[in-house]
Copies of this chain bind each other. A is one copy, B any other.
């Protein structure tokens, strides 16, 4: 937390109201930290005043598609799936939110997607209007947000490549490697990749069926590139997996 100008003056509740010691809070270690580092003490205090800690049950709905949410969330624990539905029930998952991720930053009237909890979720909630007002006052924060939105857009374009031009096996490997990178920033894990979502969710993220996802994971396990463990996978042959994800 060296990036904070005056960390001693901040309670853990600042952007991080879950009662953890600051070093234990995965939220602060990831994105919020970089947000914090762009802000001064005044700005952090202003955010602190807006923050409220909330929790959701597994399967709870955080966002309803096409209905503006009343708040901006920063996930502090658990994971969330973001998805769009077609009228006939086909589903495309557009992303998974992990601890440290923001939801609702677009500040538009309508949400572009639905979101619900994959597991028990704790989050830090900021009322939308107040957050928007704060952005008007603090250009640093807005600048930071724009950078984050641009990064999201870049990730979305990477996902387009995966959806449009990769084979089933490459899709699954790219998914695992992408998730590995994100988990490693949260919990430091390098070869263990937790999969809080079902095979169906993975399929709906990659444009595949459950069966194909299962077959590809089995295939990779049979070839000793990974092992399937109760809560996810353990990556064994990283060079091979990296080669598959790259090309």
Residues of A within 8 A of B (CB): 84, 86-88, 90-92, 94, 105-108, 112-113, 135-136, 139, 142-143, 145-147, 149-154, 156-161, 163-166, 204-207, 246-247
Nearest CB in chain B to that of A142: its residue: B142
Write the nearest CB–CB distance from A114 to chain B, whole angstroms. 11
Choose from B107, B154, B160 the contact partner of A147 (Cβ within 8 Å).
B107
A139 contacts which chain B residues (CB < 8 A)? Answer: 136, 139, 142
Choose from B108, B158, B160, B161 the contact partner of A150 (Cβ within 8 Å).
B108
A87 contacts which chain B residues (CB < 8 A)? Answer: 246-247
A145 contacts which chain B residues (CB < 8 A)? Answer: 146
A165-B94 in contact given A146-B145, A149-B146 (Cβ < 8 Å): no
A156 contacts which chain B residues (CB < 8 A)? Answer: 153, 156-157, 160
Given contacts A87-B247, A108-B151, 19 further A-B contacts (CB under 8 A): A86-B165, A86-B247, A90-B166, A92-B161, A92-B164, A94-B157, A106-B150, A106-B151, A106-B153, A107-B150, A112-B154, A112-B157, A113-B157, A136-B143, A139-B142, A142-B146, A160-B160, A163-B163, A163-B164
How many chain copies?
A: 2
A-B contact pairs, 18 of them (CB 8 A): A86-B165, A88-B247, A90-B166, A92-B164, A92-B165, A105-B150, A106-B147, A106-B150, A108-B150, A112-B153, A112-B154, A135-B143, A149-B149, A149-B153, A153-B156, A160-B163, A163-B207, A164-B206
Nearest CB in chain B to that of A243: its residue: B87
Write the nearest CB–CB distance from A103 to chain B, whole angstroms. 13
A92 contacts which chain B residues (CB < 8 A)? Answer: 160-161, 164-165
